[in-house]
Amino acid sequence: MAISWNFNANDYEENTGFKPIPIGEHRVRIASAEETTSSGGNPMIKLVLDVSGYNSTIWHYVVFMADNQKLTNQKLGEIFNSFGIPQGNLNTASWVGKVGAAKVKHEPYNGETSAKIAYFISKDRQDKLPAWVEPSNKAEVTGQASGLPSGFTPVPDSGNLPWN
């Protein structure tokens, strides 16, 4: 079967890169929460987070480590507290759409700067942040990979995550 398509060069813009979410505190919303397995074989939750006022998303991973339950519980507790999720609620479908806050940091990845979650901000410290702002053209970018520029590939679970 041959593809029938009339390419319009006016619709093409060269991808000259993008700027990551700025360093600092931001309101974030859980766009998706997927239960999966890390490359190390541990159960894991992969969060995709929308960022208030931006059309980009940030991926965050929570790996369940039987040999370091304290760290796993700390990471879960931060999420429960930041997003107002009842402690112990692992029904990730109920997490989607919840708004919390996070401190964003920058890290190098494949020669580029990438925004990452440094930590989640507890509910009682979110008052000073501006209210959630829906990205201005979110509806226009929903066909792209979670609102990222076309051609951008999210960071896979490479097994090099610090908690694997």
**Measured distance CA(5)–CA(129) in Å, rounded:** 47
- Which amino acid would we find at residue 90? L
- What is the residue whose two structure tokens read 């000073």? 128
**Measured distance CA(98)–CA(11) in Å, rounded:** 35
- Walk along the chain (164 residues) and give the pLDDT tens digit of each residue: 788 788 888 887 766 556 789 999 999 999 999 999 999 999 999 999 999 999 989 999 999 999 999 999 999 999 999 999 999 999 999 999 999 999 999 999 888 899 999 999 999 999 999 999 998 754 433 333 334 443 344 444 444 454 44
User: What is the DSSP-derived secondary structure letter of residue 129?
Assistant: S
CB-based contacts of 109, cutoff 8 Å, min separation 6? 155
Rama region for 33: left / alpha / beta (φ>0; ψ in -120 to 50; rest): beta
**Measured distance CA(84)–CA(99) in Å, rounded:** 8
pTM of the model: 0.74
